[in-house]
Amino acid sequence: MDTVTALLADLADHRGDHTAIIYHDQPITFAQVDDMGRRAATLLHNLGVGQGDRVALWLPNCPAYMALCLGCCRLGAIAVAVNTRFRSVEVSDIIRRSGAEVLVMWPGFREIDFLGLLAAADGDALAGLRSLVLYDEGTGVEDLPGPVSHCDRLHYNEAIRCEAYGDDHATPEQGCNIFTTSGTTKAPKFVFHTQGSISRHARLVAEGFGYTASNGALLQMMPLCGVFGFTQIMAGLASGQPTVLTASFDPQQTVDLSARHNVVNFNATDDMIQSILDHSTLDKPLPNLRFVGSAAFATNYTELAARAETRGIHMVGLYGMSEVQALFAVQPMDLPLAERIAGGGRPISDLSQVRVRDPDSGELLGPGVPGELELKGPSLMKEYYLNPEATAEEFTEDGFLRSGDLGQLTEDGRFLYLQRMGDVLRLGGFLVSPAEIENHLMGHDGVADAQVVGVKIAGGGIRAMGFVIAAPDRDFDEDDLRQHCLDGLARFKAPLRIFALDAFPTTESANGTKIQRAELRRMAAERVAKS
């Protein structure tokens, strides 16, 4: 049967004594992972959790996270991922809107005051919680804050010493996982995936990324509360190879663990790769890696990839989103570097389909013409949980997901991700990707990095505005940079103004550090208004 529990049971039957997860250098076998999931099901069942009930997991990476997800799957319940970086308002909003009655948390993790965050939360939003499950690795908790003082308290490490749950209520069409969208302008939507979509995609990624035949470990440092991290660990398990699991990212620890456990598979955000290069003195800090799947979020990506290549780290472009899961597509390794690191690639499933539609005319577009990417395949979400209006808006009549991403098809059957549609500029009557202008700015020897946003000008439509970080030991010269753009770009693409910054504003998400383009738009509008 195509369920998450069946996937783990099959692995336990055929590779039961093989290492599935390495945590704190301690091996956990596939049989033990399956058993942990069954006992977590008993723990949750004893709390009254059943089919369709929601369990909020406010946990960093640890084996308990996977055990509880598996326990939810076995009961037909739903695991709700809560980012450990979320603050009081965000946590209480997710718990309230999801209807979670059980919250699992690690109060002592990295000295973050999780209980203090709950103390500042909206008591009415948390009134529906019945039980609080406390996980720890040596640090206990005495008192609960007011907003959750009504909850039954349970200690995970004690409660998990129970009998394994004997039944399995899982079905392929049952929803089992909720991930939250970024919610930069509205409250985050709840992306709802089924057991079938999770288990199918895990197997497809394991095969398509070569994990099954790689004969080495996968390093898992991306947070499991994000779709990037969760997709990765599920594929690692499905491959039958070991997964090295760490609670958080540390560049030197990454290098050490990679050497100690023969890590050959690793996907990461661009800022993680940059941190590894900056902190390691080794010529080849990750010598056993086949490649690193990544995407441009917060760095000068082209420069980073070239620097990584000289130190033995071969970066490869990916594509994914919460609605179709991470690792939906990957670029071929045999492409030249500049093409290989581009977002997009070939879908890992032969059943997946990608097409491009003109956002104005509604016509489908051929290779080389940018428009909105529309996606379909086995990894597609079920719906936006409790939001039928948003679900209906997101899907076409024939079942394709409107991605909200600007992209284009290639002649050789791949696709390229160019930009979020909300970041695309309409300049001079044409759709323009900010990346085109950013790359031109970074071609100037006085620019280390660049970002371009659009701002509405009174009586003049939308105009491009640039932000740059000056190259070391170079003075910022706006007139010179504007002339550089006028010389090399169509006039309507040249930024009206260019501003210097020491660093771009960023935000942390479950899937990595991202540049806050909305904040840049606000800054640009404010500065233009003043001038």
Q: Which residues make up the CATH 3.40.50.12780 domain(s) of the chain? A: 253-421
What does the pLDDT average to over 13-36?
Answer: 98
What letter represents residue 446's amino acid? G
- Domain 253-421 belongs to what topology? Rossmann fold (3.40.50)
319: tokens are: 């594509």
In 3D space, the residue among 148, 151, 152 whose CA is nearest the CA of residue 123 turns out to be 148
Q: pLDDT per residue over 171-209, tens digit each?
A: 999 999 999 986 444 578 999 999 999 999 999 999 999
| Owner of token pair 């071969």 | 314
Least confident of 3-7, 139-143, 319-323, 460-464: 139-143
Q: pLDDT per residue over 298-330, tens digit each?
A: 667 888 999 999 999 999 999 999 999 999 999
pLDDT value of position 187? 73
pLDDT value of position 167? 96
pLDDT value of position 185? 44
Buried residues in 133-154 as b, exposed as e (16+ CB within 10 A) = bbbbeeeebeebbebbeebeeb
CA dist 243 to 15, 216, 218, 246, 430, Å? 14, 9, 5, 10, 46
pLDDT value of position 428? 66
Q: Which residues make up the CATH 3.40.50.980 domain(s) of the chain? A: 24-192
Q: Please list, in sequence order, all residues whose beta carbon lies within 8 angstroms of the beta carbon of residue 75, skipping any fewer than 6 positions away.
A: 41, 44, 45, 49, 50, 51, 53, 165, 169
Q: Which residues make up the CATH 3.30.300.30 domain(s) of the chain? A: 424-530
Q: Please list, in sequence order, all residues whose beta carbon lies within 8 angstroms of the beta carbon of residue 111, skipping any fewer than 6 positions away.
A: none
Task: Determine contact, residues 113/85, Cβ cutoff 8 Å.
Answer: no
388: tokens are: 């039928």
Least confident of 67-76, 227-236, 479-488, 504-513: 504-513
pLDDT value of position 191? 97
The span from the CA of 317 to the CA of 416, in Å, is: 10
What does the pLDDT average to over 26-52?
Answer: 98
What does the pLDDT average to over 264-275?
Answer: 92
The span from the CA of 30 to the CA of 18, in Å, is: 6
Q: Partners of 132 in the beta sheet?
A: 103, 153
What does the pLDDT average to over 65-76?
Answer: 98
pLDDT value of position 163? 97
Q: pLDDT per residue over 469-497, tens digit each?
A: 999 989 999 999 999 998 888 788 899 99
- Domain 24-192 belongs to what topology? Rossmann fold (3.40.50)
Q: pLDDT per residue over 501-510, tens digit each?
A: 999 998 877 6
Least confident of 286-290, 421-425, 426-430, 484-488: 426-430
Residues above pLDDT 90, as percent of the chain: 76
The span from the CA of 114 to the CA of 109, in Å, is: 8
Could you give phi then psi for residue 68, rounded to 5 degrees?
-70, -35
Tell me the pLDDT of the chain averaged across its residues: 92
What does the pLDDT average to over 85-114?
Answer: 90
pLDDT value of position 285? 97
What does the pLDDT average to over 509-529?
Answer: 83
pTM: 0.84
Most confident of 52-56, 221-225, 443-447: 52-56
Q: Please list, in sequence order, all residues whose beta carbon lies within 8 angstroms of the beta carbon of residue 524, skipping any fewer than 6 positions away.
A: 453, 455, 465, 467, 497, 499
What does the pLDDT average to over 370-382?
Answer: 96
Architecture per CATH, domain 424-530, reads as 2-Layer Sandwich (3.30)
| Owner of token pair 């908790």 | 141
Residues above pLDDT 70, as percent of the chain: 96
* Residue 286: DSSP 8-state: S
pLDDT value of position 298? 60
